[in-house]
Every structure is written in structure tokens, then in C-alpha cells.
């Protein structure tokens, strides 16, 4: 089979979140199953710079405000199609945000252009896909543009919170039909929603965990689109994300002191404490690698931190985001058992996960989550909220799970400070039971966290749409 994957970001070229990791890793896993994947993404400066030898496969003299072309090339195992449209993508800074921290005002046109080119390639290119796999709102208009083509489309929802909204005045510029600006079409509270267009017109819908698929049909998780999700219930499936097990492999990771069993974590813990300025302590060293936002639940951790520190535990945090949360954790670092680094550092992220005893993921909602999977892979016990992919990937240390020796982490519910405090208390209790803790680490490191099973699920879905 031939699949065209359409995404706004793709690791290792350009990344702001988990979408990039998925877009970068899934093609290789599908390739192992004999499925040919080409990935279309925008020609941001970093992408153009990373490309080696290329050839032009499509020219667009006027693509929403300027000339463009599509370049074909390869980077490692990735077979790339890059939309080189300087008027849309050749700009410094964030791929989505301007220097003022706000969305680029032409984001609707930028990603409508990406979707338009995807539809053009699918119908007229020399390489014709059997179906088009679209990721999030940035590729949400692909199913709309292909609605009369007979080419199947799949839209994967990585996070339904982002809709890709535009004022109705942009309908002509985005090459949309005003007749479809209705509640049954792409209209959302008086605006154009690129994500809703994909939800309405895609042949099939997927999201990144079975639990999140069920949550999306509830008002508290559906972000105003729960009605659309309920209407498409029979076309929706949840397929868990995986991680790149070569990049995240404690036995071969060049950024840490490698280890094959959790007994080898000690050297990394010592090095991490030294790097972060933390003293020796009797309790567990908990780590955080995350965006600091309310969605991620870090306001809850502020209130629960005293429980961890009171039991002799420590916190090492790497992240950035909400200015208020950044300030609060900077202030918390006044305690000698709290260390905070604001920003993102890939090498430090590996060292935190290798050196930590537990990783905290207290999200209010989490479509899938990747950091808990990294934690499992490295024997770093996840403490997670009972939501989305966190619920699907962590086996809670309940009495029954502990009795059977299968627990891999801790889950808490509801998402409140009190519940998180209780989970941290339980974590410290388990830490004080070395045999139980060692068994949980062993269980964690043996969990399937790669793409093998998920790639098979996508392959089966693709196969069901073959003409």
C-alpha cells in the first residue's frame, strides 16, 4: 500500500510536541509491514536546511499568495515531500507563533495551502497514494478538498483542543465553498474550523488512545465537538501511540550511563543530583519533563509538592509554558530538595528520565502522552492521572495488581490536589518496600511501548479502506 501522511511537524526535523514524534516514527514501523509512506510537511527553514539532494515534483505558480513547489527528498528512513512556499513558511521563530507569542495571522492560509497541495498530489502526482492520512487541524482540510475524489482519508486527532479557527471572511482565500459554512459543515460558532472539516469529511477518524476516543464524545473533553464525535462514533477508533525505541533505549542511550536493568539507574541518579544541585535524600527522586500548563495539571503539583517533600522526596523539573507556573516552580526551588530548569533540553530530558525514580504526569486530559512511556522504558515509575492514554498505558498499583505482581505505576482520580497528594503518599509507601519497587521497575521496563502493535492496527485500518 501507498500512504501519504500529511503533518505540520515531524521529528527529528521540527517539533513542538508529540505529533512530531508520531509523524517521525510511524512511517518506519509501517515500512516494516511493507507499507510505503511519504510524508508531506511544510518547508520551514530548518526543514529546507536539513534536506540534501531533492527533486521538484510539483509547481504551484500561485498558492494562496505566492509561488510554491514540492520537493522530494529523503532524511534517514523518512521519505519526504516538502512544501517549499517561502511566503508562507520561510520565517524565523515558532512554526505557529509570531514574535509576539500569538498565532501567525495567516495560519489559516498556511495550513490550507498544505492541505490543498496534499489533495493535489494525491490526485495528480506521479506517485498516487491509496489513501491520505491527515494529522490534526493543520491537515484537516485535506478530506474536504478530496471529498469528491473517491480517495479515502483518515484524520488522526492528536489533541482536539486545537481547532484551527479562521473568520468567515477567509473562506475564499482558503478555497472553500461558502455553501459548506453551516453547522453540518465546517462552521463552528461563526468561524471556520479546519479540524471540524476533517471530522465531517474524513472517511475514518482515529485518535491516539482508546480511552481518549471514548472521552471525546463527552462535553467535558470534546471541546465543543463532542456532538460531531458522537455522530461519527462508528468511524472512530483509538490507536495508542508508541515511542522510538532506538532513540529511547536505556541500554544504548548515548546521553546517559547505559543500563539494561533498573539496578543500573543508580549512576544516573547520582549524576542527575549533581547536575541539578540536589543533595542525597531518603525519599524518591521525582522528575517532570513537560510543558507547564493547566492542562498538564502542574498547578495541582504545586499544592501537592509538600506531601512529597514531607516524606523525604525530591523534585527535578524541566519545562516551560505558563508564566505563572514558571514563577511558582522557580519559587519552589528555594527548597533544597527542588530543582527547576525552565526551557527544553533534549539531553537533560534523557538524563532526568534515566536518573529519576518516578515521573509525574498529572494531566487533566492527555490524548496519549509520551513521557509516561519513556518512564516505563527506563524503569522510572509513572504517577499519572486516570485519563486518556495515561489510563491505557499504566497499570495502577492497586492491591490486586500488586498481589499479582503486574503493577507498573500509579494512577489517581479525580484530578485534584488532594488526589495527587494521595498518590505521592502511596508512591513513598511503595518506595519504602524495596522488593515491591524493584518488581514494579522490572514490570515497567518489560511493557510494550514501541510502534509494533499500533502499526499493525493502522495497517488493518488502511486495508479496510482499500478500493
Binding residue numbers: 15
d(C-alpha 337, C-alpha 332), whole Å: 9
d(C-alpha 382, C-alpha 397), whole Å: 11
Q: Which residues contact 124 (CB under 8 A, 6 or more apart)?
A: none
Tell me the three state secondary structure of residue 252: coil
Contact by Cβ (8 Å): 405, 436: no
d(C-alpha 382, C-alpha 394), whole Å: 7
Contact by Cβ (8 Å): 377, 445: yes
Measured over the CA atoms of residue 156, residue 37, residue 143 and residue 147, the dihedral's sign is: negative
d(C-alpha 148, C-alpha 128), whole Å: 16
DSSP codes joined into one string, 39-88: EEEE--HHHHHH--S-EEEEEES-SSSS-EEEEEEEETTEEEEEEE-HHH
Closest CA to 287 of 400, 444, 427: 427
Long-range contacts of 187-193 (CB under 8 A, 24+ apart): 188/163, 188/224, 188/225, 189/224, 191/165, 191/166, 191/167, 192/108, 192/165, 192/166, 192/167, 192/168, 193/137, 193/140, 193/163, 193/164, 193/165, 193/225
Query: What DSSP designation does 280 have?
Result: P
HSE-up of residue 254 (Cα within 13 Å, Cβ side): 2
d(C-alpha 393, C-alpha 385), whole Å: 11
Query: What DSSP designation does 148 have?
Result: T
- Cell numbers of 300, please? 495541582
Tell me the three state secondary structure of residue 426: helix
Give CA separation, 354 vs 70, 107, 155, 248, 290, in Å: 40, 38, 34, 10, 15
- Cell numbers of 2, please? 501507498
Number of Cβ within 10 Å of residue 150's Cβ equals 8
Give CA separation, 95 vs 55, 92, 155, 322, 353, in Å: 24, 8, 21, 19, 27
* Binding-site residues for ADP-alpha-D-glucose: 15
Amino acid at each position: 500500500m501507498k500512504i501519504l501522511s500529511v503533518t505540520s511537524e515531524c521529528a527529528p526535523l521540527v517539533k513542538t510536541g508529540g505529533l512530531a514524534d508520531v509523524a517521525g516514527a510511524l512511517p518506519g514501523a509501517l515500512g516494516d509491514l511493507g507499507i510505503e509512506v511519504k510524508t508531506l510537511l511544510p518547508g520551514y527553514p530548518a526543514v529546507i536546511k536539513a534536506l540534501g539532494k531533492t527533486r521538484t515534483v510539483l509547481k504551484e505558480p500561485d498558492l494562496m499568495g505566492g509561488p510554491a513547489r514540492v520537493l522530494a527528498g529523503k532524511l534517514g528512513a523518512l521519505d519526504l515531500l516538502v512544501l517549499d512556499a517561502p511566503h508562507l513558511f520561510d520565517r524565523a521563530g515558532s512554526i505557529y507563533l509570531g514574535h509576539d507569542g500569538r498565532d501567525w495571522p495567516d495560519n489559516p492560509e498556511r495550513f490550507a495551502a498544505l492541505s490543498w497541495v496534499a489533495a493535489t498530489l494525491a490526485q495528480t502526482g506521479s506517485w498516487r497514494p491509496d489513501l491520505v492520512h491527515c494529522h490534526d487541524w493543520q491537515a484537516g482540510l485535506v478530506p474536504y478538498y478530496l471529498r469528491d475524489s473517491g480517495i479515502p482519508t483518515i484524520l488522526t486527532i492528536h489533541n482536539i483542543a486545537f481547532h484551527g479557527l479562521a473568520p468567515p471572511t477567509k473562506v475564499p482565500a482558503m478555497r472553500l465553498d461558502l455553501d459548506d459554512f453551516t453547522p453540518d459543515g465546517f462552521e463552528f460558532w461563526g468561524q471556520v474550523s479546519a479540524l471540524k472539516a476533517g471530522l465531517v469529511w474524513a472517511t475514518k477518524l482515529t485518535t491516539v488512545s482508546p480511552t481518549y476516543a471514548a472521552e471525546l464524545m463527552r462535553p467535558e473533553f470534546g471541546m465543543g465537538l463532542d456532538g460531531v464525535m458522537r455522530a461519527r462514533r462508528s468511524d472512530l477508533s483509538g490507536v495508542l501511540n508508541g515511542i522510538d525505541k532506538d532513540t529511547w533505549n536505556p541500554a544504548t542511550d548515548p546521553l546517559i550511563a547505559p543500563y539494561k536493568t533498573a539496578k543500573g539507574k543508580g549512576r544516573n541518579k547520582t549524576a542527575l543530583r549533581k547536575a541539578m544541585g540536589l543533595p542525597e535524600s531518603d525519599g524518591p527522586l521525582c522528575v517532570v519533563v513537560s510543558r507547564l500548563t493547566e492542562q498538564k495539571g502542574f498547578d495541582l503539583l504545586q499544592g501537592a509538592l509538600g506531601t512529597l517533600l514531607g516524606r523525604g522526596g525530591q523534585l527535578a523539573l524541566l519545562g516551560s509554558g505558563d508564566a505563572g507556573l514558571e514563577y511558582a516552580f522557580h519559587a519552589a526551588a528555594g527548597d533544597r530538595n527542588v530543582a527547576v530548569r525552565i526551557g527544553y533540553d533534549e539531553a537533560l530530558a534523557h538524563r532526568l528520565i534515566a536518573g529519576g525514580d518516578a515521573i509525574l504526569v498529572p494531566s487533566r486530559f492527555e490524548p496519549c502522552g509520551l513521557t509516561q512511556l519513556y518512564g516505563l522504558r527506563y524503569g522510572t515509575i509513572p504517577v499519572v492521572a486516570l485519563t486518556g492514554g495515561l489510563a491505557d498505558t499504566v497499570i495502577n498499583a492497586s492491591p490486586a495488581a500488586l498481589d499479582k505482581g503486574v503493577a507498573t505505576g500509579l494512577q489517581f482520580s479525580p484530578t485534584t490536589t488532594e488526589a495527587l497528594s494521595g498518590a505521592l503518599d502511596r508512591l513513598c509507601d511503595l518506595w519504602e518496600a524495596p522488593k515491591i519497587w524493584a518488581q514494579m521497575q522490572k514490570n515497567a521496563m518489560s511493557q510494550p511501548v514501541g510502534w509494533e502493535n499500533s502499526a499493525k492496527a493502522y495497517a488493518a485500518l488502511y486495508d479496510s479502506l482499500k478500493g
